[in-house]
Amino acid sequence: MTLNDDLQTRKQVEETQKSTGTDLTFAYAHHQVADAKEAVTFGAPRVQDRLTKVWAALIPVKREDMPNDKLWADLVAIKNRMVFYNPSGLKPNKMKASLSLMRTDHAGALKDMICRLDADVRRDRLKASIEVWPMAHSQSEVLKIEARRLHENQAVG
């Protein structure tokens, strides 16, 4: 996702919020975390080389976009781990250089954290959608639909 795409998505979310009066910031955060998971899962052979796209997806997410305190803490932990990685006292002047120096096991752990955050965000969003789902559908039907979507998305990743 390019910076222009990100700005366009943010603008669409803001316009929809104004017109509908609903809070879509969590939907924006969900979208960005899903983009980060996709970026870290697919692409260059080395995880380290994929992390700059992850950073680009996660950096615009703000505190108000992530209403759940645990999810926000997990996101901050991921961002901190990417920014403060400093192997052997080396101080590269660019984050991309720092990420390319990251050991494979550290990059793999970071990938796992991102995938876990994506699953947690999806689960939290599922809970929120069940609470506001129209009564025409039973909660068991909603759970089946959302569980199927979650399973399909995990099978891809």
Tens-place pLDDT, residues 12-48: 656 554 544 335 677 888 899 999 999 999 888 888 8
Question: Does 141 reside within a domain?
Answer: no
Residue 116 clears pLDDT 80, i.e. is over it: yes
100 occurs within a structural domain: yes
Distance from C-alpha of 74 to C-alpha of 3, rounded to nearest angstrom: 23
Helix axes 25-41, 104-132, angle to 10 degrees: 150
Does residue 90 fall inside a structural domain?
Answer: yes
Please give the residue range of the domain that contains residue 29. Answer: 3-119
Q: Per the structure, how many domains does the chain have?
A: 1
Burial of residue 95, with CB atoms counted within 10 A of its CB: 0-12 exposed, 13-18 middle, 19 or more buried: middle
